[in-house]
Chains A and B, each alone.
Chain A
Amino acid sequence: MDYHKIIIVDDDSTSVFYAKDVLSEIFFSGEVLSFDKPNDFLIYYNDNKHLFIGKILLLLDINMPLKTGFEVLIEIEEEFDEESNMDVIMVTSSNLKSDIEKASRFINVIGYVEKPLSKKKLEDIFNAEH
């Protein structure tokens, strides 16, 4: 995984703990940031996007009380194109077909995994074992 930074957006602290644990298990050496409020992430993103260097991976929860993961994606979607530097993995307790369908329409969504995130699930994505 050649990411410079990984950002976790999830309101559930246990899930954030699991995700960070997995990232240390795979020896991710870049910066890891987490936000429990989607709006805090959006403020951070808008204030800092011009400063981002290298690729960024966003681990994004879908079901959050203040704003869903899809609403977050819609707010930053204008920045998404084939050249954008942000990849997104939806990490969610939802396995609703409609959510997978919705996620697949965002071109930066490269993975969809059910919680809890694990090393195996992350490796399956990056080894293209779909």
Chain B
Amino acid sequence: MQSTNQNIIVLDYVVIELLDSNIMRFEFTKDIIITMELTSEMIDVCKKLCPDRLYKSLKIIHHKFKIEKEVVDLFAGDIRKEMMSVEAVVLTTPALRIFANFYLRVKKPVIKTKFFDSEKEAVAWLLNN
């Protein structure tokens, strides 16, 4: 884990930054399969950057992105509500958008979640929610 300043933590596969308005920005920097191990690592980073309060999650995904079933199931439960209040996800490929449709319709996220094509729209939505 490398830290460049107190609000940014750079991991091998993601840059996590706490922005103004309590927005936690995750930018995934390469193709990845999200495992339980990586999930735990990211949860630890979020707790370090934003202890004792809920954040608004902003996820930016440009690359191939797979999520292990156990992680999807974990985040379909209450743990998500304990960490974040709302989530915006920016997806830049059609395959990811189809996955987003699946996620919204079949997995039914426990917090308010919306998918976007651009980061600008996603941030505007987060600021209003």
Taken together as a complex, chains A and B put the C-alpha atoms of A101 and B94 apart, in Å, by 5
Please state if A110 and B105 are interface contacts (CB–CB under 8 Å). Answer: yes
Residues of B bordering A, CB below 8 Å: 65-69, 72, 94-99, 101-107
Please state if A126 and B106 are interface contacts (CB–CB under 8 Å). Answer: yes
Please state if A97 and B94 are interface contacts (CB–CB under 8 Å). Answer: yes
Q: Which residue of B95, B103, B107 is within 8 Å of A100 (Cβ)? A: B95
Say whether, besides A97-B94, A104-B95, A112-B95, A128 and B69 are in contact (CB < 8 Å): yes
Q: In angstroms, how far is the closest chain B Cβ from the Cβ of A117?
A: 16
Contact with B along A87-130 (1 / 0, CB 8 A): 10000000001001101111111111000000000000111111
Q: In angstroms, how far is the closest chain B Cβ from the Cβ of A85?
A: 10
Neighbouring A residues of B101 by C-beta, 8 Å: 104, 106-110
**Which secondary structure characterizes the binding site on chain A?**
mixed
Neighbouring B residues of A75 by C-beta, 8 Å: none
Please state if B99 and A128 are interface contacts (CB–CB under 8 Å). Answer: yes
Q: Is A82 an interface residue (CB 8 A)?
A: yes
Please state if A130 and B65 are interface contacts (CB–CB under 8 Å). Answer: yes
Q: Which residue of A97, A100, A129 is within 8 Å of B98 (Cβ)? A: A100
Q: In angstroms, how far is the closest chain B Cβ from the Cβ of A89?
A: 9
Q: In angstroms, how far is the closest chain A Cβ from the Cβ of B98?
A: 5
Taken together as a complex, chains A and B put the C-alpha atoms of A109 and B99 apart, in Å, by 9
Neighbouring B residues of A109 by C-beta, 8 Å: 98, 101
Neighbouring A residues of B66 by C-beta, 8 Å: 129-130
Top 10 A-B pairs ranked by shortest CB distance?
A: A104-B97, A110-B102, A104-B94, A130-B99, A101-B94, A100-B94, A128-B72, A127-B69, A104-B98, A110-B101
Q: Which interface class (under 10, 10 to 19, 20 to 34, 35 or more) fits A?
A: 20 to 34
Please state if A111 and B102 are interface contacts (CB–CB under 8 Å). Answer: yes
Residues of A bordering B, CB below 8 Å: 82, 87, 97, 100-101, 103-112, 125-130
Please state if A82 and B98 are interface contacts (CB–CB under 8 Å). Answer: no
Q: In angstroms, how far is the closest chain B Cβ from the Cβ of A55?
A: 9
Neighbouring B residues of A130 by C-beta, 8 Å: 65-67, 95-96, 98-99, 102
Please state if B98 and A128 are interface contacts (CB–CB under 8 Å). Answer: no
Taken together as a complex, chains A and B put the C-alpha atoms of A130 and B99 apart, in Å, by 7
Taken together as a complex, chains A and B put the C-alpha atoms of A130 and B102 apart, in Å, by 10
Mind listing 14 A-B residue pairs with CB under 8 Å? A82-B104, A82-B105, A87-B106, A100-B95, A101-B94, A103-B94, A108-B105, A111-B98, A111-B102, A112-B98, A127-B69, A128-B99, A129-B68, A129-B69
